[in-house]
Amino acid sequence: GKAIPAFIIGVVNFIFLLGVTVHVFGVPMRGSILLLLLLTLPFIVAEIGWGVLISAIAHTQQQAILFVFILAMTDISFSGFLVPVKNLPGGLQWIAQAVPMYHYLEIIRSVMLKGATLATLWPHGLALFGLAVTILPISVRGVSQRLD
């Protein structure tokens, strides 16, 4: 229940920042906005799942901040944002597959810059969906156990 406002804020942020990206920074939008929105939804759910999980395992606000920092650094390191994932050693490439941001960045780049369709993006979309339906139930279970 408490994750619903975060989901709505995530969708509003996506729409606003997409507008800024296209209209202020002039990044071309060669693909479908609707496809990008649909593939954004499981990313938002997966990231909310991580947030709920952190709230379940952190005992203090300081611990939560530390966990968020560690998660953010992991996301950035394994997403392909700083270094292409194909340049990482094999084991680290495998870890990147479990990072929602890796799949989401591939989707954003492909839809916006290449005009990619679902026919080429389905593996990343499926991975995001799989991560979302895995992370969120685990985090909800963690919260319910902590409340008991």
Q: How confident is the model at residue 141 (pLDDT cuts 50, 70, 90)?
A: confident
Mean per-residue pLDDT, 112-119 = 97
The pLDDT assigned to 27 comes to 96
The domain in which residue 104 lies consists of: 3-147
Cβ proximity of 31 and 114 under 8 Å:
yes
85-112 core/surface letters (b: 16 or more CB in 10 A; e: else): beebeeeeeeebeebbbbbbbbbbebbb
Cβ proximity of 36 and 111 under 8 Å:
yes
Q: How confident is the model at residue 2 (pLDDT cuts 50, 70, 90)?
A: confident
Mean per-residue pLDDT, 139-144 = 81
Q: How confident is the model at residue 81 (pLDDT cuts 50, 70, 90)?
A: very high
For residues 5 and 15, give the distance between their C-alpha atoms in angstroms, rounded to a whole number. 15
The pLDDT assigned to 42 comes to 97
Count of domains for the chain: 1
Query: pLDDT per residue over 13-56, tens digit each?
Result: 999 999 999 999 999 999 999 999 999 999 999 999 999 999 88
Q: How many other C-beta atoms can be found within 10 angstroms of the C-beta atom of residue 6?
A: 15
| Mean pLDDT over each residue of the chain, to the nearest integer | 93
The pLDDT assigned to 148 comes to 63
Q: How many other C-beta atoms can be found within 10 angstroms of the C-beta atom of residue 117?
A: 13
Percent above pLDDT 90 for the chain? 84
